[in-house]
Amino acid sequence: MLYLFNNIKKKEIFDAIVSKNKEEAVSRLLDFGISFGLNGNLYKKYLIYVLIYNDNSYTRAIEKGLKIEGNTNYIDLDLKYFHKLYNEEFLDSDITDFKFLSSTGDEYLRPLINEIYNNISDNSYETFKNAITSFYINRGLGEMAVYKAFRVSNGILKPIKHVLDVSFDDLIGYDEQKRLLKENTYNFINGKTYNNVLLYGDSGTGKSTSIKALLNEYFDMGLRIIEVYKHQMQEISKIINKLKNRPYYYIIYMDDLSFEEDEIEYKYLKSIIEGGIEPKPNNVAIYATSNRRHLIKETMADNGGVFDDLHRNETQAEKLSLAYRFGLQIYYSSLSPQEFKKMVEELAYRNDIKMPLDEIIKEASKWELTYGSLSGRCAQQFISYLANKE
């Protein structure tokens, strides 16, 4: 009987193991191993997987860094039960030395399972317990310990299992913008004063890339990103309520945010950012990108073009107030022709393009006029085109 550790993921595998149903256990473990891209001892790695995801009051307390005092006999009973299972050998070598070469799998979960597996260096209970509890202390619990980013689906956070691997070095130029963004985020995850952030400016200038670079740079310091779409604004309060007691730092991220005149979702966002009886917890920040600084479409009537509103100044102030609630607004401008050329040169160098530089610049100018604009995205698309030609 399990007292606390009874939250079993993929329980059908666990039940087959406990009941000593070898055929079913092998079948289900094979499916588990292939789907996650695991090799080696699938039996033991499944049990590690169960413990990584075992959400209970004890693992939550360890995750938060709380000191566990008093009678821990029931905790030890549960862990000793898992330790006993871990050291049993009722399956044949085909499942305990599994080899399957595949490009599929879970790039985040797999190395964590392998790390814990390697840390259980002998058959002792103390080594087993230390490897598991050290994971809770150093990494956390469940999906928040494993994945970098999440999106919302029917009020539930679902992990994004493939996040673009970009760094700030990949974004050429925009040094001041990157400095401001990194400084604010560093303050956020270190418990210092920080601002909610609006990155605005022309399309293709690197706003979204900057957010992805933040995630890769500060993930190991506890940063996680929750991607939210405009139609999900009403769910943000519920999401934040789930996040406030976790020992991570969450950026609620809204990409390409803007509102039409007749959309009212922005009112929910205004309330969440600043206002309401219950304050936003210190481990949650709001970051958004937009092509518009003021986020909400304005009409001529707002500026006095049509006099159908007796209090048009108040109407205009209402629409502008959302943007003003982002304490840090960072502008990403289009490139000048000279900056565009420098970016193309740098990208050509990084991608080892063999074409003479003057010819690259000449072709880049033609590309920009035909396909795009003076932006980093346009420069990258041009270099990708050249790389494919070579």
- Quote the pLDDT of residue 219: 94
Strands 156-160, 149-153: parallel, antiparallel or unpaired by DSSP?
Answer: antiparallel
- Structure tokens given for 193: 């004063």
User: What percentage of residues in the chain have a pLDDT greater than 70?
Assistant: 85
How distant, in Å, are the alpha carbons of 162, 204, 212, 268 from that of 227? Answer: 13, 19, 11, 16
* pLDDT score recorded for residue 98: 87
Dihedral sign (CA 158, 159, 162, 168)? positive
- What is the average pLDDT across 264-289? 76
Query: Is a pLDDT exceeding 70 seen at residue 265?
Result: no
What pLDDT does 185 receive? Answer: 98
Digit-coded pLDDT (tens) for 182-204: 999 999 999 999 999 999 988 88
81: Cα within 13 Å, side-chain hemisphere: 17
pLDDT over 90 for what percent of the chain? 49
What are 113's two structure tokens? 């399972």
Tell me, what's the pLDDT at 310? 44
Q: Tens digits of per-residue pLDDT, 93-103?
A: 667 888 877 66
Mean pLDDT is lowest, of 87-91, 119-123, 160-164, 351-355, for 87-91
Q: How far apart are CA 221 and CA 182, in angstroms?
A: 13
pLDDT at 11 over 50: yes
Predicted pLDDT at 321: 65
Write down the pLDDT at residue 104. 67
* Residue 235 banded pLDDT, cuts 50, 70, 90: confident
- How far apart CA 244 and CA 284 sit, in angstroms, is 7
Average pLDDT of the chain, as a whole number: 86
Other Cβ atoms closer than 10 A to 101: 6
Q: pTM score, two decimals? A: 0.84
CA–CA distance, 126 with 104 (Å, rounded to integer): 34
Q: What is the pLDDT of residue 355?
A: 87
CA torsion through residues 349, 350, 354, 358, sign: negative
| Interval 155-159 mean pLDDT | 90
For residue 168, the model assigns a pLDDT of: 94
Q: What are the pLDDT digits (tens) for 32-60?
A: 999 999 999 999 999 999 999 999 999 99
Question: What values do phi and psi take at 288, rounded to 5?
Answer: -140, 150
Q: What pLDDT sits at residue 263?
A: 60
Asked if residues 198 and 326 have their Cβ atoms less than 8 Å apart, the reply is yes
